[in-house]
Amino acid sequence: MKTLSVLSTIIFFLYLSSLSLTAQTASLTDKIYFLNLFVDTEHDSWDSDEIEAFFEKFEESLIWIEDQAYTYSKEVAFDNDYFFFDNQETVYLEEVERGYGAIQLIQDVLYDRGYNSLEHFLDRNRFEEPLSKLKIILFVKSKGRSHANNHLRIENVDIAIVYYQRRSGTPTDKYVMAHEILHLFGAWDLYYGKRQTKATAAKAKELFPKSIMIGHYSPRSSMEVDELTAWLIGWTEKHHPEYSQFNPRTNGAKAAFENREKEPTSIKFNLGKKKKNE
């Protein structure tokens, strides 16, 4: 009897574990509010024309996501105007390591805008929606690898860092922006790197060759939101057991080990330093 009880406990535990591997982590189905800030660095700074042009790319990325949602019979709504007092303003930040806590990074950004805390910002703007509907985008005037700071949902506020240019010097386009935005709703990276092993990345490319979460398809205009990503962000309820093999929580450690020579374990993204005479 005791053995049966232990066995039942183990089976129940495995059942819960399987749910954690496949459960959707976010939803891109509700109205979403963006706070968009432009970050000057010690090497370069934004001018008004560049801000306008780059923000147009951002809006194009949102239109692309809206069009993709339509293919899954979904509608999405984005609000870039709610935080009108702060949107498209410029901030300075000290250099911090990649992986810096989302909450702390947001606090630093808002402090530079004159807010004492996230709560102060929300109160001043009379924002009473769930925090999951607030997304913060930092557009950095520098070269770098754009990334979402909190797409694994460790905290309940999300922030993405989007660089003016990629590391190669090529301009950041709307597809890079869309990729990072999708992270903010639970999408997983599907290319070989710190989230996917060589084996899982190859399988993802086989199953979802045009996926924007792989991002290597040419022409880029043919990229799409694949079925796995659509499930993760709440656009479809169709789930396949094979999706669990791509979960970064389960294969991330092995992927990071495989990539230990490819990238340093600690990557800094330069958000610039405020000049002493300012």
Query: Domain segments of the chain: what residues?
Result: 27-188+264-269
Q: How much is the pLDDT for 97?
A: 57
pLDDT tier, 156 (very low <50, low <70, confident <90, very high otherwise): low
Instruction: Using CB atoms within 10 Å of the CB of residue 257, give its burial: 0 to 12 exposed, 13 to 18 middle, 19+ buried.
Output: exposed
Q: What is the pLDDT of residue 14?
A: 35
**pTM, to two decimals:** 0.82
- Split at pLDDT 50, 70, 90, the class of 2 is very low
Quote the strand ranges of 62-174, DSSP E.
77-79, 89-91, 96-97, 134-143, 147-148, 158-165
In this prediction, residue 261 has a pLDDT band, given cuts at 50, 70 and 90, of low
pLDDT digits (tens, 9 = 90+) for 201-229: 999 999 999 999 999 888 999 999 999 99
* CB proximity list for 32: less than 8 A, separation 6 or greater: 76, 77, 78, 79, 133, 135
Residues forming a β-bridge with 31 = 77
pLDDT at 131 over 60: yes
Instruction: Determine if the peptide bond prior to 209 is cis (ω within 30°).
Output: no
What mean pLDDT comes out for the span 160-177? 93
Query: By the 8 A CB rule, do 102 and 154 touch?
Result: yes
Q: What is the pLDDT of residue 195?
A: 84
Contacts of 206 (CB under 8 A, 6+ apart): none
In this predicted structure, the answer to whether residue 263 has a pLDDT above a threshold of 70 is: no
Does residue 113 register a pLDDT over 80? yes
Q: How would you classify the pairing of strands 31-39 and 77-79?
A: parallel
Residue 23: per-residue pLDDT = 36
Strand partners, 171: 165
> How far apart are the C-alpha atoms of 37 and 15, rounded to whole Å?
43
